[in-house]
A = this chain, B = another copy of it.
Amino acid sequence: MKEQLTIGEALIEALKRRNVQHVFGIPGDYALGFFDDLVKSELDLINTCDEQSAGFAADAYARLRGLGVVAVTYGVGGLKLVNSTAQAFAERSPVVVISGAPGVGEISGDALLHHRVRDFGTQMRVFSEVTVAQARLDDAEIAQREIERVLDAAETHKRPIYIEVPRDQVHQIAAPSTVKRFQPSPGDDAALTEAIEEATEMLNTAANPVILAGVEVHRFGLQDDLIELIEKSRIPFATTIMGKSVISEERDGFLGVYAGGLSQVEVNRAVETSDCVLNLGAMITDLNTGIFTAALDPAKMIAASADVLTIRRHQYANVDLRSFLQALCKAELEARDPLPPSTHAGPAIFRAKETTAITVSRVFDCLDAELSDDIVVISDPGDALFGAIDLTIHSRSEFLACAYYASLGFAVPAAIGVQLANDNWRPLVIVGDGAFQMTGIEISTAVRYGLSPIVLVLDNFGYGTERPMLDGPFNDVHPWHISALTKLINSGHAFEVLTEGDLVEALEAGLAMPEELVLIHVKLASDDFSPALNRLTSNLKARV
């Protein structure tokens, strides 16, 4: 490393030290200096078609690598990222938003510089609503300290942060930072001891306890601790939708994905009849619990999260998920009977009825049988997500979705982030036709950088998930001949799927060309829904 770093270089070095290799974004004149630094650095810059896609790609990258970075210009770039950053906040994804800005020397008085809104603080104030820490690097004396402070916050809270770089500061020499890296405040040992005693007692006296594993286990890197706990205690486990694939679904003891009325009857029964549910980092959101069709009794729940531990109806404010889970692994838990095999164990078999029209249900049956271990499934919200609940994911973290905030159009840009985060993986995107019209064009970015996602578009003529709620012309979209996109971007292979035979053929062909972009246009009936959505609909009706 050089002796003296500029602010731009110091920022890049700090990102490199924290496992970042790729930065997503689009330049603009207030950010050109930093983009120039980026291309001269060892980091790789990935230009998307539109800024919002850069935000989604960085979000996916952050979920897999621990930090994801999106860099843009002021106003017209930054303010396009509010939605993707809000999603990162809601779903605990540590995204670093870096925005160029007018120079310190330019903004004196009330200068009407382009891309300005109300005043020069507007963008910072907007981002203070959707990030956990913000820094404006306008003082070379403290810039390095500020960079470390906000990056620490992203890693500690697993939430997005915002960094603004005035363009005349990028090449200022940054004073070396002498402060030590942030040390999280230690938890309350006495409270932890008390909590562990109480939880151990509840678990040991329970007849049929169940672990409900959620997304925070993944975000805070506690998968090995979870496996240790399961193996030691022999308590079977389910996951939420957001936590799907947090550990392999082929492990002994796996019950399935629990999502209230969206889940399969057996999973529902196993969790809801348990006399002690140990919730490890599972957010009790409406989508995670099938629009609150879940029947979970707080009196039988131990719920550990990043923020608070709740046992029955009381809270331990200073006991976090990591401390609790790791202490529980060391507690005197009684071992139970050997775990049953996973309900998802064993190979799935799909026998295509060659000329039978394809349905949502059979798409997922087929995927379950065809997908190999190196495939990461990325589901866009809607039936692409609900249908995927029952898919078997073989390894950990090979399923990705925005299953809480649920921003349509996440999946195609996310595939770019996923494949760059780990080039051993090939992304398979499942996306509805409505969502594909929002951001599907980013297949152009994928081929530009030599990536090879398989993009499966479930075309049911519009926003299908909304039709059972309230239908109207507003749920329709203009029909697209999706195969024409390979001509637009002069790359990739497109398949049209009308029958089960078509689907097997397209998938097998796509899997056989691992270096190519593959588009599979699945033409469904407009009233065809996944089994999970049908289960939810009948459950909701049952409540009326």
Contact = CB atoms under 8 A, between A and B. Distances in A.
B114 A287 contact: yes
Interface stretch (A33-41, A258-266, A296-304, A528-536): A33-41
Contacts of A33: 470
A391 interface: no
Contacts of A113: 285-286
B482 A112 contact: no
B490 A487 contact: no
A130 interface: yes
Contacts of A476: 47
Interface in A26-66: 27-29, 32-33, 35-36, 38-39, 45, 47, 49-52
Given A112-B284, A116-B90, A129-B125, A76 B407 contact: yes
A28 B45 CA distance: 34
A405 B122 contact: no
A285 B86 contact: no
A466 B32 contact: yes
A487 B487 contact: yes
A419 B115 CA distance: 26
Contacts of A114: 285-287, 404-406
A179 interface: no
Given A35-B474, A474-B45, A130 B115 contact: no
Contacts of A87: 76
A476 B80 CA distance: 20
Given A76-B405, A83-B76, A466-B32, A130 B112 contact: no
Interface in A88-134: 89-90, 111-118, 122, 125-126, 129-130
Interface residues of A, number: 79
Question: Which of A38, A404, A408 has the most B CB atoms < 10 Å from its CB?
Answer: A408
Q: How many copies does the complex hold?
A: 2
Given A39-B474, A490-B481, A50 B437 contact: yes
A82 to B, nearest CB: 4
B285 A112 contact: yes
A45 B89 CA distance: 32
A184 interface: no
Given A49-B437, A112-B404, A286-B113, A29 B469 contact: yes
Contacts of A409: 50
A79 interface: yes
Contact of A489 (B284, B472, B480, B489): B480
A406 B285 CA distance: 39
Given A80-B83, A485-B488, A115 B406 contact: yes
Contacts of A283: 112
A120 to B, nearest CB: 12
A143 B438 CA distance: 33
Contacts of A482: 488
Interface in A279-294: 283-288
B82 A126 contact: yes
A39 B125 CA distance: 36
Given A114-B404, A469-B32, A439 B477 contact: no
A254 interface: no
Contacts of A479: 490
Nearest to A132: B118
A475 interface: yes
Interface stretch (A268-276, A444-452, A505-513): A444-452
A27 B444 CA distance: 27
B45 A473 contact: yes
A49 B438 contact: yes
5 contacts: A49-B477, A80-B83, A122-B129, A441-B441, A448-B478
Closest 10 CB pairs of A and B: A484-B487, A79-B83, A112-B285, A49-B437, A484-B488, A448-B478, A76-B407, A32-B470, A50-B438, A82-B82
Interface of A: 27-29, 32-33, 35-36, 38-39, 45, 47, 49-52, 75-76, 79-80, 82-83, 86-87, 89-90, 111-118, 122, 125-126, 129-130, 283-288, 404-409, 437-439, 441, 444-445, 447-448, 463, 466, 469-470, 472-482, 484-485, 487-490
Given A29-B466, A437-B444, A481-B490, 18 more contacts: A50-B439, A51-B438, A52-B52, A75-B83, A75-B86, A76-B407, A79-B82, A80-B82, A89-B117, A90-B116, A90-B117, A112-B284, A112-B288, A113-B285, A114-B285, A114-B287, A117-B130, A482-B488
